[in-house]
Amino acid sequence: MGRKILLEKAGIPGIREFSIYRHHGGYGSAEKALIKMSPAEILQEVTRSGLRGRGGAGFPTGLKWSFLDRKCTNPRFLICNADESEPGTFKDRYLMEFLPHLVLEGLIISSFALGANTCYIYVRGEFKTLIGILQKAINEAYQQNFLGKNILGTGYSLDIFVHPGAGAYICGEETALLESLEGKRGNPRIKPPFPAYKGLYGCPTMVNNVETLAAIGPIIEMGGEAYASIGKGKSTGTKLISACGNINKPGVYEIDLGLPVEDFIYSKEFCGGIKDGKRLKAVVPGGSSVPILPAELILRTAGGQQRLMTYESLADGGFDSGSMLGSGGFIVYNEDACIVRNTWNFTRFYQHESCGQCSPCREGTGWMEKVLNRLEHGLGKMSDIDLLASIAGKIEGTTICPLGDAAAWPVSSAIRHFRQEFEFHAEHPEIVRKINHGALVKNQESNIQYR
């Protein structure tokens, strides 16, 4: 059985309540940090732990915290990025729904370490139930003097606010999130300056993912070195994986980083194998924004080594034969899955969610969606495949924020690994139309000009 660090208390009845969470050792780490440790000592433990950002980028958390401008006399802010909306990713929602006080405890410790007296939880607006759960937990923490003025008599004060977003995926990007918090349109900012120096209201600001901040309490409790002893290499600790698709046991799982991908897919403890006894066809290992890998490459690297659930192993081979751990949205496809249709679905999402600030993303995602729409509905031609690859190549690396890359990578990797499926769609339109039950689209719906 895999160890539980973040989800250790998840199955305890009533764990959302402060009294139950406290009875089972909750807020012990916050007491230890605020009463017995200095901010510098907390930063040292987080750095020793090797904890990397769990929102997708995987940047070392301790190093990121060290960038905060501590010389500036302006207020400092901590922002909990809870705007989880990437297709296939739902592990932060799980934490907020079932372990809200674990999240709050991590925010309290992190705010103290960063010298921030105000913290915002920027949560996706559609999470109405979660907003209520978080607010109730915050109210309880205020009542018990874990929030507010002079927490536990230490002289440290902290206020936490829940701020619902308006349902824009782009606000998961930290600078777009800051723009939204300030009441402006959620468009990403050009960097530098980075938020650590000039963030919310022009003040030093740290933005971290829900899972990243939830891990701070356990790290303080067990110590950074003990946490770093879990995992493999630079991928330390445990990671929450939200698994879905054609598997027997969809859900949120906590794994030790370094677990073989094959074990995660087929073991009874985790995904439980492919549904209905089908064969594995492909996996998107880190949410919709990362490259798809066919079965032979998700189970083994191009060099024949066993693929592991680590940042390094999944990236082995670069974008030719690797992918990314990303946000931990593990999407599994069986042998019957249509890669073209799934790529089209992803592209529809990114076309809809592009903020429109950068023309390569604004226009390119729309072009890709139209071409994939044609192919999927039996109206495409062979030249569409190279056209798609060309458009994706012109989006990648040309935008202010990573949404352009996130839209391009699924398309380019799908063509690279499953080109024969795209060719089949172009060569056999009548079969494609039959499979789609005659769901045709009119040629005039597409305004891509062939050349």
- pLDDT level of residue 441 (50, 70, 90 thresholds): very low
pLDDT surpasses 50 at 450: no
Q: How far is CA 279 from CA 233, 296, 297, 302, 439, in A?
A: 31, 11, 14, 20, 28
Which residues sit opposite 208 in a β-bridge? 80
Q: Please give the share of the chain, as a percent, with pLDDT higher than 90.
A: 91
Instruction: Report residue 34 CA to chain centroid gap.
Output: 29
Give burial (CB, 10 Å; 0-12/13-18/19+) of 343.
Answer: buried
Residue 396 pLDDT greater than 60, yes or no: yes
Residues in the chain, how many? 451
Take residue 232 and report the two structure tokens written for it. Answer: 């493999």
Note the pLDDT of residue 176: 96
pLDDT band per the 50, 70, 90 thresholds, residue 435: confident
- Rounded Cα distance, 270 and 396, in Å: 34
**Contact partners, residue 400, CB within 8 Å, separation at least 6:** 188, 189, 190, 357, 358
Q: What is the mean pLDDT of residues 347-362?
A: 96
Distance CA 351, CA 216 (A): 35
The mean pLDDT of 154-171, rounded to a whole number, is 95
Tell me the pLDDT tens digit for each residue of 117-154. Answer: 999 999 998 999 999 999 999 999 999 999 999 999 99
Query: How many alpha carbons fall within 13 Å on the CB side of residue 234?
Result: 10
3-state SS record for the chain: CCCCCCCCCCCCCCCCCHHHHHHCCCCHHHHHHHHHCCHHHHHHHHHHHCCECCCCCCCEHHHHHHCCCCCCCCCCEEEEEECCCCCCCCHHHHHHHHCHHHHHHHHHHHHHHHCCCEEEEEECCCCHHHHHHHHHHHHHHHHCCCCECCHHHCCCCEEEEEEECCCCHHHHCHHHHHHHHCCCCCCCCCCCCCCCCCCHHHCCEEEEEHHHHHCHHHHHHHCHHHHHCCEECCEECEEEEEEEECECCCEEEEEECCCEHHHHHHCCCCCCCEHHHCCEEEEEECECCCCCEEHHHHHECCCCCECECCHHHHHCCHHHHCCCCCCCEEEEEECCCCHHHHHHHHHHHHHHHCCCCCHHHHHHHHHHHHHHHHHHCCCCCCHHHHHHHHHHHHHCCCCCCCHHHHHHHHHHHHHHHHHHHHHHHHHCHHHHHHHCCCCCCCHHHCCCCCC
* pLDDT on residue 443: 39
Tokens of 5: 């660090």
Average pLDDT over residues 101-127: 97
pLDDT in tens, 40-54: 999 999 999 999 999
CA angle 16, 17, 23 (to 5 degrees): 110
Residue 1: pLDDT band (50, 70, 90) is low
End-to-end CA distance of the chain: 57
**Beta pairing, strands 77-82 & 205-209:** parallel
Question: For residue range 228-254, what is the model confidence (pLDDT) as tens digits?
Answer: 999 999 999 999 999 999 999 999 999
Look-up of token digits 């990573």:
402
Residue 437's contacts (CB-CB under 8 Å, 6 or more residues apart) are none
Contact 251, 243 (CB under 8 A): yes
- The mean predicted confidence, pLDDT, of the chain is 94
| Mean pLDDT to the nearest integer, 264-274 | 97
Task: Write down all domains in the chain, each with its CATH number in brackets.
Answer: 18-228 (3.40.50.11540), 234-334 (3.10.20.600), 339-445 (1.20.1440.230)
Give the amino acid at 156.
Y
Q: Which residues contact 332 (CB under 8 A, 6 or more apart)?
A: 243, 244, 245, 246, 247, 265, 271, 274, 280, 283
